[in-house]
Amino acid sequence: MDITGSFKTKSLFADFIQEMGLQNLLEKPGCFGDDECLTIILPTNDAIDHMANDLAWYSLDDYQKHSFIHGHIIQRGITTGQSSVRVTTREWTKLGQQMNFIDIGFGTGVEYTTLFAKQQFGFSTIADSTSLYFVNNAKIVTPDVMASNGIIQIVNQVLYTPYISSPFMEFLQKQGNLGISKELWYLLLQEPKYAPYPAQHIYSTIFVVNDSGWSSLPIIQLNRLRKNITLLASVLSYHYCPNQLIYREWISVKPNMNIYTGFPNRPQSATSIQLSELNPAQLYKSSGDSIIISSGNTEAKLEDKSFIIQKAIVHIIQKPLAFIFETREEILNRINSNLLSSCQSDTICKNILTSSTDITIFSPNAQAMQNFNKLSTSEKAIYLKYLFLPMKLYQAEMTLNRRIPIEKLEDAIRFKIIDQSTFIEARLPNQGYVASRIINANQVATNGIIHTIDAVPGLPYETVQQYVARIPDFNLYYNTGFVQSMTIGEPYTFLVPTNQAMTSMNNDNEVGRKLLTDKLRKDFVFRRNTFPLDLIIQDLDIRKVYYVSTANYAFTREQLRLDISSKNSDEGELHTNHIELCS
C-alpha cells in the first residue's frame, strides 16, 4: 500500500495534495533502488481547522501552496549508507543534521530537509514515562503509520511558517504593535558590541515587549533606556535566549521549563556558548493556563500567538523583563498610599517595611481599603501582619499545599485556585478563613514584591447568606430559601451541600425528592447540617471525637458525631453520624 492508501479517514491535507496535482508524488514506488522513501508529516483535520484563518488556503498562490505541502514531506537528504529510509520515531533524533541546541528538556534537535521549507526540526522528550516526539511545535499523536513507499507521522499542528524568511528586525518592522521594541533593538544595533545578536548568526528565542507594555513605564524610565545603551543591553539580554528554540506548545507536556537568557560572549558560534555565561529563567503555565516567562526576577505573560521567523522564535509579552526601578515603598505610595501610611504608623509593620530583606505586600484595592479604614488602630495592627510578610513570594509559589504562619497560628494563610484565579485565604485565631482574590500579581520592586487583592485577608466582609448566594456550586441549596431563613439565634455554622449533592437527593424518588418538596421535612434535614455555634473545623483535634448539637437540638436534642480525618489539606474528610435524643 502506498502513502495515499494509508490515510485512514478523509484528510484535508490529502485534499490539498490532490488539488495541487501532487498525488503522483505520493503514489510512486519507493524505499528500494534509487527511489527515496517519503516521510509525511500529516496534520490532523482539527489542526488544519484550527489554523484555517491564518492559513487562508484559498488565498495562497500556487508557489505558496506547493511550499506548504512540501514543508510536510521529508524526502531529501535522509539516507543511511546507500539506502533511503523511513524516518521512524525510534530514530527521530538520530537522522538528519544534528543542531546541538541547548537542551531545555526536548533534546538538542536535528534538522530535516524538505524541498521548499526551512527549519523543520525534530525533538523528543519524556513526560509521565512516555516518549513524545515533535516536529517544531507539532507533536506526533499517531506515530509510524507504515506504507510501502514511506511512512506517515500524524501531528496535532500545521507546519505553517509565513514569517520564516523574515529576519528579526524586518519582522518587528512589519508588526503594528512592536514599534518601541523595534526602536530599542535598533538603538542596541548601533553599538558594535551588540550588533551580532539581532543579526542572528545563531538560532534563538526572543521575548518581545508590545507597545502597551513599554508605554506602561514612566516616560522618564523609558528615556533612561533610550539614552543608556549599557542599561538597555542589560534589560534586553533577559529577553534573549541564545541557541534555543522554545515553542509555546511544548508547555502542554512540560508545564515548567528551565531556559536560559543572556548575550553570550561569542554570539557567532553556537558551540562556544556556555551555560555559565547565561542567566537561568523559566517558562511555565500559570494557574489560569496563561504562559508566563520568569526572567531577571520579573515575570510577563505571553500573548496568545507566537511567530517562527528566520532562525528564531518570537513570543510577544505584555511587559518588560528585568527592568526594576522602584522600591517597594515607591510602588506602594503610587498604588496605595493609605496602606503605606498605616504601616509606617505601626511599629511592627514599620520594622518589616524598613528591613533590608525582601518582603511581600498584599495591597487591598480601593473598595477593600474602605473596610480596612473602618478598623480601629489596634484592629489594623492585627491585619497588617497578614498584609506585610517578611519573605518574597511570587504568585507561582502560592501552591495549594503551602501554609504561612502568623505568630503562633501555623496555618494562618493558605492558597486556593478557583476558576483560574489565585485566592489568599487567611484566618485569625479561633476564626474561619476569609478569601481575597489576586487581581494584579507580581509587581516587583528592587526590594520586594506587591500583589493587589480585592479584600483584606481574614477580615469578614459578607454574611453567610451573601457568600452562599455568590458561589455557583451552591445555587440549588440557596434556591431552597433555607439559609436565608436562619437569622435568629446566630451565629450558625452551615455544612453546605453542592449542586451535585442536591441533584443526587432530588433524583432519589423514594425519599430525597419527597423531603425536598415538604418544607417542614426539608428544613429539618438542612437543620441537621447546621450548628448554632461557630465551629472552626481547622482547630479541632483529629485524635478526638466530637458531639455537636444541631439546629434541631431545641426540638429533639439532636446531635451529630464528628470525626475529623485530616486537616491542613485542600480537601479533607469530615465524617458525621446522626444521633437523635428525644425526651
Give pLDDT tens digits for 385-422.
Answer: 999 999 999 998 999 999 999 999 999 999 998 877 89
Q: Give residue for cell 449542586.
A: 499
- Model confidence at 562: pLDDT above 90: no
Contacts of 107 (CB under 8 A, 6+ apart): 93, 101, 123, 124, 125
Mean pLDDT of 341-363: 97
What's the grid cell of residue 161?
Answer: 511558517
Q: Give residue for cell 501582619.
A: 385
Cα–Cα distances in angstroms (integers) from residue 348 to residues 66, 338, 403, 448, in the given order: 71, 17, 21, 17
- Crossing angle of helices 12-19 and 62-70, rounded to 10°: 130
> pLDDT > 90: what percent of the chain?
64
Q: 459: helix, coil or strand?
A: coil
For residues 247 and 349, the answer to whether their CB atoms sit within 8 Å is no
Give pLDDT tens digits for 449-475.
Answer: 999 999 999 999 888 999 999 889 999
> pLDDT > 70: what percent of the chain?
91
Confidence label for 576 from pLDDT (cuts 50, 70 and 90): low
- Residue 286's pLDDT is 83
Tell me which residue of 394, 397, 334 sits closest to 359, measured CA to CA. Answer: 394
- Residue 81's pLDDT is 46
Instruction: Label the pairing between strands 448-453 and 493-494.
Output: unpaired
Contacts of 61 (CB under 8 A, 6+ apart): none
- Residue 78's pLDDT is 47
Tell me which residue of 576, 551, 556 sits closest to 565, measured CA to CA. Answer: 576
Confidence label for 581 from pLDDT (cuts 50, 70 and 90): very low
Mean pLDDT of the chain, nearest integer: 88
Cα–Cα distances in angstroms (integers) from residue 521 to residues 293, 501, 513, in the given order: 56, 17, 11
- Residue 328's pLDDT is 96
Q: 354: helix, coil or strand?
A: coil
Mean pLDDT of 298-312: 94
- Residue 133's pLDDT is 96
Give the whole-angstrom CA distance, residue 16 versus residue 22: 9
Mean pLDDT of 16-41: 77
Mean pLDDT of 176-202: 89
Instruction: Label the pairing between strands 312-317 and 298-309.
Output: antiparallel
Give the whole-angstrom CA distance, residue 35 versus residue 474: 67
- Residue 82's pLDDT is 43
Mean pLDDT of 181-195: 92
DSSP state of 114: B
- Model confidence at 107: pLDDT above 70: yes
Q: What domains appear along the chain, each with residue ranges and CATH number?
A: 3-155 (2.30.180.10), 168-317 (2.30.180.10), 328-453 (2.30.180.10), 474-580 (2.30.180.10)
Give the whole-angstrom CA distance, residue 83 versus residue 440: 59
DSSP letter string, 483-536? HHH--TT---EE-PPPHHHHHHHHH-TTTHHHHHHSHHHHHHHHHHTEESS---
Higher model confidence: residue 53 or residue 10?
Answer: 53
- Residue 73's pLDDT is 87
Which of the residue ranges 78-92, 382-396, 475-489 would you say has the lowest mean pLDDT? 78-92
Instruction: Kindly tell me the sign of the dihedral angle through the C-alpha atoms of 252, 174, 63, 92.
Output: negative
- Residue 117's pLDDT is 65
Confidence label for 491 from pLDDT (cuts 50, 70 and 90): confident
- Residue 45's pLDDT is 93
Cα–Cα distances in angstroms (integers) from residue 302 to residues 120, 162, 203, 285, 318, in the given order: 23, 20, 20, 10, 7
Higher model confidence: residue 511 or residue 6?
Answer: 511
- Model confidence at 509: pLDDT above 70: yes
- Residue 34's pLDDT is 52
Mean pLDDT of 191-216: 89
Mean pLDDT of 181-200: 88
Instruction: Kindly tell me the sign of the dihedral angle through the C-alpha atoms of 260, 262, 265, 267.
Output: positive
Which of the residue ranges 5-14, 137-146, 197-206 would you say has the lowest mean pLDDT? 5-14
Which of the residue ranges 85-94, 309-318, 350-359, 429-438 would you say has the lowest mean pLDDT? 85-94
